[in-house]
Structure 1
Amino acid sequence: MSWSLLDALRRNPDIVRDSLRKRRMDVSVVDRFIELDSKWRSVKAEIDELRHRHNVISKEISKLSGAEREAKIREAKELLNEIQSKEEELNAIERERDRVLKSIPNLVHNDVPYNCPEGVDAIPIRFYGTPRVWVGYINDFKEQTERFGFNVPYETIEWKPVGHADMLEYVLGMGDTLKAGEVVGSRFYYLFDDLVMLDLALIAYAIDHMTKKGFRLVLPPYMLKYDVLSEILDMDTFKDMVYKVENEDLYLIGTAEHPIAAYLRHAELLEDQLPQLFVGVSPSFRREASAGNRDMKGIFRVHQFHKVEQFVFSLPEDSWKWHEELIKNAEELWQGLGLPYRVVLLCAHDMGRCAAKQYDLEVWMPAQGKYREMVSCSNCTDWQSAKLGIRVLRKDMRREFVHTLNSTAIASTRAITAILENNQEPDGTVIIPKVLRKYLEIFSKGPVDAIYPRRKIERDEKGLPKGLS
């Protein structure tokens, strides 16, 4: 049983070097691993030889007596001491080798673009819907469509939509990030009234859609131990992006993907037990340490949010089929919401470390004049399962590591931002997507077909909102 990355490092390290170059990463880590792995094998061979000598001497002792016996006993003890010393050396080498190994990202799939042009992190592969484009953003829109060879139809609007941050705080009066910032810090928020109900309706919609497709609904733990999380992520890189519980060996999850991946940790499955399909619902906690000052306003990039996540444990030969299935599921959800989007294939340098290939689904945001990420969909092949020890026993008794895949279904706060901007009327009324309305019926005081502004939007002669952005 072999892990594809480890196998490549030992048999054809140039494959790993090439993969790292595509990711624009330092290839010296390959040489460091080879050095440590060679040293580990050498010390392991020495230990095996010492044990063999000890076994031979132990057998000889029973046949000897007197001074010869005492001499052999001393020799055996010396060998045991040497073995113990070598084992300590071996363990130290192994720890460092494994640390280096865990830092090496997954092998990049051949379909993944690399050497992408400056400023391009992903290549669009398809578009959906007819975006509403404010006249001031038409050139920006064409830069994001025609530049990549797509002639996407759009509707020109003369009035500029209000950004979601001002919509939720000032126009609708249903959000407060200023008070949240005062009591807890930046990138937190209070939501109220219709927007809370909309958040819950989005979660229910995604759960309903995915369970109808045969995905098993799971409410996972919201925390994981360090050693478990480090088998799912490269914690040396990501430890500053997750929240640690003080005085506990526990970390808050950034996505339901992580505890679902850990669910089958150290499991051995039969072929007919795969695939296993899960849809997890959970809060997600993210430090966003690398975000800098991006998206400081509003609820697009926040430290906590609700998310519904697709996750698949698959036979290796089926994982690429499931990768396409997961992005298709996500597209169906966003098509149901009636929001215009594009699916992009990430360039190698912008992919997550666990991903061999990654799609994003980006929704058009008319107040920003940009497509923004709503969904991330990755095939992690055996990068996670090898560390987690999740195997499949084949019918011919061979053992292989399963493949793991994950995809956002809906992250509720981001979906709300997209609805507030795309379904906005000139006066600030927000039309609720029809597909969500049945999930709002359980609320006696919930919105029916629209969310109405508490403050009317005033516009100047150019269609720009006065005092709002």
Structure 2
Amino acid sequence: MLDINLLRKDLPSAIARLETRKNPQAFLDVTVFQSLEAERKTLQMRTEELQNQRNSLSKQIGHLKSKGEDASAVMAQVINFKAELESSAARLDQIQSELSALLLAVPNLPHESVPIGSDEQANVEVRKWTQAQGLGGVPADLAFEPKDHVDVGQPLGLDFEMGTKLTGSRFTVMKGSLARLHRALSQFMLDVQTTEHGYTECYTPYIVNADSLRGTGQLPKFEEDLFAAKKGGQEGAAENAALYLIPTSEVPLTNFVRDEILAESALPMMLTAHTPCFRSEAGSYGRDTRGMIRQHQFDKVEMVQIVHPDTSYEALENMTGHAEAILQKLGLPYRVMLLCTADMGFGATKTYDLEVWLPAQKAYREISSISNCEAFQARRLQARFKNAQGKNEFVHTLNGSGLAVGRTLVALLENYQREDGSVEIPAVLHPYMGGMTELRQS
């Protein structure tokens, strides 16, 4: 969440920055915030006044008793002050809870280097890459009319009808060598991120509690995007607490540091995991209904970094390069986009999207999103480190896909298809495929 002091010190400036994300700004009820803040200030001033008066009266009581005089009247005043102080403390706690609830719905402030824009049309292309031409190149057209991944993949083991039969729309079954290629991609991605880039591979739960999702920003604002695994009856009972399928392994990985105070020497923490991801895709009905682009269940290799605040923007550039390396090794044309203020995710201060070229669509499609959240998640998580001065300071958190496995498979099917319906397998994947060099209908 945002540092509340930013709102207290200069609310108009904070609102102006929020309005670049969405206009009109609909994240913070300014009237309620100002009313709660005014009451908080009044109560705090009155509390300080009462504490000073109580301290003064307590001294009087001691003085009267030392002289053998009656102190009952003064003691009655102290008792009255105590009751008012307890009432003020209870109301201050309530105000703090209400302010926290307001802040949970407020997104992060964009970094000054993020372009201002009202939609994705304002995103800025940073660079392109193609296997043949390198930086600045344009993807070459195939020598024949390309098919999309649905038409290429179905004869090779991509079964949408079975996915619908087993579960419903936007679920997919893969069979045979195509399923093996999907598995090979995740293993390849993990190997690159761990052996070449220094990430620690992790295995995490696929189901998390509500505290974990609040920590990374999915709750309470985006509950409709989640799949609930269990909803309880008795509030507060651990066995009945709400549980959710993970929308991304960013959630469990980032929550490793929830309620922790790390040694500065423990930074940076670089974590990666391959997991399925589950998303209801609320609000996306009618979009990308064909094929594997937008699924309720998909696999992803996630990268998470927990870093010192001074190095988070350097880490963002490095992480973007770590995701790019996968695409380059696979020979897949892509471009890097700097997202504008209105197109960034809820917790991000700055985001790069990697978009891979899909020949059948003659368009670039997102395959990875890498974001710096600064201390936004850390503040919710209470994730801190002890700095050189011995003070506790919030870490910065970053996350990104390295990569989305299903969309990478889509890109391979479309970019490496042959006119006869077979698909070439990139050389870097041959060891993961038992030496297999192509997919071909049996």
User: How far, CA to CA, are the matches of 1:270 and 1:312 in structure 2?
Assistant: 15
The question of whether the paired residues in 1 share the 8 Å contact of 2:277 and 2:297 is answered with: yes
Q: Which residue of 1 aligns with 2:88?
A: 86
Q: Which residue of 1 aligns with 2:30?
A: 31
The question of whether the paired residues in 2 share the 8 Å contact of 1:102 and 1:234 is answered with: no
Task: State which drifts further: 365-374 or 24-33.
Answer: 24-33
Alignment of 1:66-465 (within 5 A): 69-115=71-117, 120-129=121-130, 152-157=137-142, 159-169=144-154, 171-172=155-156, 174-212=157-195, 213-246=197-230, 247=232, 248-441=241-434, 448-453=436-441
Q: Are the structure 2 counterparts of residues 128 and 197 from structure 1 closer, same or farther at C-alpha, using a change threshold of 3 Å?
A: same
Q: Which residue of 2 aligns with 1:15?
A: 13
Structure 1 position 24, deviation (Å):
2.0
Q: 1:310 aligns to what SS in structure 2?
A: strand
Structure 1 position 78, deviation (Å):
3.3
Q: 1:196 aligns to what SS in structure 2?
A: helix
Q: Are the structure 2 counterparts of residues 91 and 234 from structure 1 closer, same or farther at C-alpha, using a change threshold of 3 Å?
A: farther
The one-letter code matched in structure 2 to 1:287 is S
Structure 1 position 122, deviation (Å):
2.0
The one-letter code matched in structure 2 to 1:185 is G
The question of whether the paired residues in 2 share the 8 Å contact of 1:375 and 1:407 is answered with: yes
The question of whether the paired residues in 2 share the 8 Å contact of 1:253 and 1:285 is answered with: yes
The question of whether the paired residues in 2 share the 8 Å contact of 1:17 and 1:30 is answered with: no
Spell out, residue by residue over 1:407-456, the C-alpha distance to the aligned partner (whole angstroms, 9 max, x if none). 10022111111111111111210111111111122xxxxx70111135xx
Spell out, residue by residue over 1:266-307, the C-alpha distance to the aligned partner (whole angstroms, 9 max, x if none). 222232221111112222111111211111122221111221
Q: Are the structure 2 counterparts of residues 181 and 67 from structure 1 closer, same or farther at C-alpha, using a change threshold of 3 Å?
A: farther
User: How far, CA to CA, are the matches of 2:120 and 2:52 in structure 1?
Assistant: 60
Report the aligned-residue RMSD. 2.6
User: How far, CA to CA, are the matches of 2:354 and 2:334 in structure 1?
Assistant: 7
User: How far, CA to CA, are the matches of 2:18 and 2:250 in structure 1?
Assistant: 25
The question of whether the paired residues in 2 share the 8 Å contact of 1:381 and 1:405 is answered with: yes
Structure 1 position 390, deviation (Å):
1.5
User: How far, CA to CA, are the matches of 1:89 and 1:271 in structure 2?
Assistant: 37
The one-letter code matched in structure 1 to 2:88 is K
The question of whether the paired residues in 1 share the 8 Å contact of 2:354 and 2:368 is answered with: yes
User: How far, CA to CA, are the matches of 1:234 and 1:299 in structure 2?
Assistant: 23
Q: 1:236 aligns to what SS in structure 2?
A: coil
Q: Are the structure 2 counterparts of residues 369 and 311 from structure 1 closer, same or farther at C-alpha, using a change threshold of 3 Å?
A: same
Q: Which residue of 2 aligns with 1:6?
A: 4
Q: 1:342 aligns to what SS in structure 2?
A: strand
Q: Are the structure 2 counterparts of residues 239 and 4 from structure 1 closer, same or farther at C-alpha, using a change threshold of 3 Å?
A: closer
Structure 1 position 163, deviation (Å):
1.5
* Matched-pair identity in %: 32
TM-score, normalising length from structure 2?
A: 0.89
User: How far, CA to CA, are the matches of 1:382 and 1:277 in structure 2?
Assistant: 17
Q: Are the structure 2 counterparts of residues 81 and 175 from structure 1 closer, same or farther at C-alpha, using a change threshold of 3 Å?
A: same
The one-letter code matched in structure 1 to 2:36 is L
Spell out, residue by residue over 1:22-42, the C-alpha distance to the aligned partner (whole angstroms, 9 max, x if none). 112444727343442332232
Q: Are the structure 2 counterparts of residues 156 and 419 from structure 1 closer, same or farther at C-alpha, using a change threshold of 3 Å?
A: closer
Structure 2: segments with no counterpart, 5+ residues: 233-240
